[in-house]
Amino acid sequence: MPHRFRLASGGLTGFTGLWSVWTATEKTKFITCCIITTTANDVMRPYHDRMPAVLAPDDYATWLDADAPTTELHSLLKPYPSELMDVSEANPLMNNPKNDGPELLEPAA
């Protein structure tokens, strides 16, 4: 059964990530990206030992600031507080990538 991890508040979740644009040849340009992970918190740990490094909304500007000190950015790469997250069984339709639509957000039956 798939699971849905979200903020307990129901708000949007911001992940830390990196992106880059680089040119392989004169005609080939690549845009690459990744989500940064960290150690799992108590909510995630029963399912996996890693989780995305989730940003608090107050930290969005710092993460996006190209001039932010590296040490300040590193301090954001930590498990999100467990008490601010929720997990529930997700709709089994999530297991098929052909499925797309709001029904995927409906709880499991």
Q: What is the pLDDT of residues 22-54, one digit of tens each?
A: 998 888 999 999 999 999 999 999 999 999 999
DSSP secondary structure, 55-80, as one string:
EPGGGHHHHH-TTS-HHHHHTT-SPP
Question: Is the pLDDT reported for residue 109 higher than 80?
Answer: no
Q: Residue 106 carries which DSSP code?
A: S
What's the sign of the alpha-carbon dihedral 96, 97, 101, 102? positive
What pLDDT does 27 receive?
A: 87
Cα–Cα distance for residue pair 2/35, rounded to 1 Å: 20
At 57-84, the pLDDT tens digits run: 999 999 999 999 999 999 999 999 999 9
What pLDDT score does 2 carry?
A: 87
- Would the pLDDT of 108 be above 80? no
